[in-house]
Amino acid sequence: MGIPVLDAVHVGRQPIFDVHGDVVAYELLFRGRMDAVASGRQDTYATSTVMVNAFTEFGIAEVAGNRPCFINLTREFVTGRLPLPFGPEQVVLEVLETVDVDDEVITGLTALAEAGYKIALDDFVWGSGHEQLLGLASYVKLDLLDGDLSRLDDIVAACRAYPRIQLVAERLETAAEVAVADRYGMELRQGYALSRPQVLTAPSLSPSRMRRLELVAALMTPDVPMEKITSIIVSDPALALRVLRVSNSVAAGVVSRISSIRQAVMLVGLTQIRRWATLMVVDDVAEAPEEQLLTALTQARLCENLAPRFRADPGAAFIAGLVTGMAGLMDMTTAAMAEQLPLTSDVSDALTRGTGRLGQVLAAVRAYEDGEWGSDDLAGLSLDAMRWSTRTLNAASQLTPAAAGRRRHRDAAR
């Protein structure tokens, strides 16, 4: 099968400081590559990519700890045409200055504010129409480098008429801009004079685009069986890993520990799963070749098949095998990956210490893969796992003529 080639995902993170110089929040920024200084785009694709990467690739706790994150919103998200896949607990919704304010935008932002989301107005300019949103805002960001400062007295006075609004001085690049922020008593500060954005990078295996589309379609079906949703997610290791990370995020509001994909789906909820799947379709870039995932999926299935011999739970065994396989593909230790996921103690112990019945399952699969068959020949179960994995991945790649064409191209290149 060869050595898998990993994609890398990136997210920019620029600190927001208080007047004492302490980091109190982060703005999350689109970055297409690790060495990108500026984003170069502020469209729906960029917003979707930031959301998906921050919450499902890194995990929001890894990106921001317990600090709030400012995330840019385009009109599609403001008006509800694209759903927000997270709750209001750790995000500030930053309305871009490019959003034209009309009744639809005001209605959408009012609903978001009533749902508990905090609103920030980015690059605020008086007369742009965004002054209509001051009653909904918790933060107003003022550009002190290139912004028009001639009306700064009036703008600050207008914002101070709303006691809950905090002013964010942005684009502070010299001591002069910092002095302006001090003179007006702006509560929060952001800019190169304080800290440049940091680009966070992580290895990633993208879920199959076809699997995401299939998931979205299934979730749109009334009364779709939970087994159908679970089977789609289970069939794509990268998608399953994203669901696990979402279930561990603060925004998902999940406090329980899980031992199966089904339980993760139930805890996150079908509504949130639908929103994330929709966002992943918007975020879709070049998918990794699906054969890269075959090893991980086969290993997970083999663990599931073997579990009854050790009186272990098959669903938990699938999770343990999936995490083990994905950690290998992503050049991480199983312990490091287990720490990022909300796993039950038996699954976590098996992955980190190799203990318990699940630890015995993993040890048996590892021994078989290393050629140490011992008394238990797993050839039959392994063949079944390989057939299931191949059949599952091939089913996804045959859903469209374009996907079939890519598959023929890959086969011809071998």
What does each of the 414 residues of the chain score in pLDDT, given as a tens digit? 333 345 677 788 999 999 999 999 999 987 654 444 444 445 666 777 787 777 766 777 778 888 999 998 888 889 887 778 788 888 999 998 889 999 999 999 999 999 999 999 999 988 889 999 999 999 999 999 888 888 899 999 999 999 999 999 999 999 999 999 999 999 999 999 999 888 887 666 566 655 665 676 677 666 778 888 888 888 777 788 888 877 776 344 545 677 788 888 888 888 778 777 766 655 543 344 455 567 777 888 899 899 999 999 888 888 888 888 878 777 778 888 787 676 788 988 999 999 999 999 999 998 888 777 554 577 788 888 888 777 655 544 443 333 444 444 444 444
What is the length of the chain? 414
Same domain, 179 and 220: no
Domains in the chain, number: 2
Range of the domain at 266: 205-413
- CATH number for the domain that contains residue 247: 1.10.3210
Joined tokens for residue 242: 């994203």
Same domain, 386 and 251: yes
Listed residues 171, 201, 231: the one ending a domain: 201
Residue 213: inside a domain, yes or no?
A: yes
Residue 329: inside a domain, yes or no?
A: yes
Listed residues 201, 221, 256: the one ending a domain: 201
Same domain, 157 and 256: no
Same domain, 147 and 43: yes
Same domain, 175 and 239: no
Residue 1: inside a domain, yes or no?
A: no
- CATH number for the domain that contains residue 75: 3.20.20.450
Residue 243: inside a domain, yes or no?
A: yes
Residue 2: inside a domain, yes or no?
A: no
Same domain, 177 and 253: no
Listed residues 177, 201, 225: the one ending a domain: 201
Query: Around Cβ 55, how many Cβ atoms within 10 Å?
Result: 30
pTM of this structure: 0.59
Same domain, 192 and 54: yes
Same domain, 54 and 188: yes
Same domain, 317 and 222: yes
Q: Which amino acid is at 362?
A: L
Same domain, 154 and 240: no
Per-residue burial over 224-246, b = 16 or more CB atoms within 10 Å of its CB, e = otherwise = eeeeebbebbbbbbbbbbbbbbb
Residue 113: inside a domain, yes or no?
A: yes
Query: What H or E segment, with its residue span, contains residue 137?
Result: none
Q: What is the dihedral of CA 222, 225, 231, 233, to 10 degrees?
A: 50
Q: CB of 46 within 8 A of CB of 77?
A: no
Q: Which amino acid is at 139?
A: Y
Same domain, 177 and 299: no
Same domain, 218 and 133: no
Residue 76: inside a domain, yes or no?
A: yes
Residue 321: inside a domain, yes or no?
A: yes
